[in-house]
Amino acid sequence: MFAKQLSVFIENRQGRLCEVLGVLKENNINILSLSLADTTEYGLLRLIVNNPSYAKEKLTESGFSTMLTDVFVIKIEHKAGSLQQLLDKLSDAGINVEYMYGLSIDGEKAYVVLKASDGELAKAVFKKENVITLTSEEISKI
């Protein structure tokens, strides 16, 4: 039900993102989705990769500050209003969406990465609403 997201804290300077991506490339780690948020001094790179534990290990060995986080990758209808309807259900259950970003679209379905304030409660809402969530292994096959 949960997927593993790799977060990498990087200085906001020229070439630093390329260094992270170089480590992944050298170790044959495939990026499935990413989000980069920045401030003046640092960036937070969030990644869904095909082998999150190995990626964390290799990036840590290369001097990067990393962590693995449980997130949901949800599969929703690719039509206007479907995400908003799901977010209403989470809000009604008292769940805050801490962040989210798109993963992919495959015709009729869209995949979204979502971090909830209460993962277990969100899991219950998804089950009740018949929302499909994917594991890290399933994401690698998309």
pLDDT in tens, 37-90: 888 888 899 999 999 999 999 999 999 999 999 999 999 888 899 999 999 999
The torsion angle over the Cα atoms of residues 34, 38, 44 and 46, rounded to 10 degrees, is -10
CATH of domain 71-140: 3.30.2130.10
> What's the predicted TM-score (pTM) here?
0.84
Residues of the chain within CATH 3.30.2130.10 domain(s) are 3-69, 71-140
Q: Does domain 3-69 have CATH number 3.30.1600.10?
A: no
Q: Give the tens place of pLDDT for each residue, 100-122.
A: 988 776 777 788 888 899 999 99
Of 131, 100, 129, 103, residue with least CA distance to 117: 100
- pLDDT classification of 18: cutoffs 50, 70, 90: very high
Q: What is the pLDDT of residue 40?
A: 80
What residue ranges in the chain does DSSP mark as E strands? 3-11, 31-38, 42-49, 65-77, 97-106, 109-116, 132-134
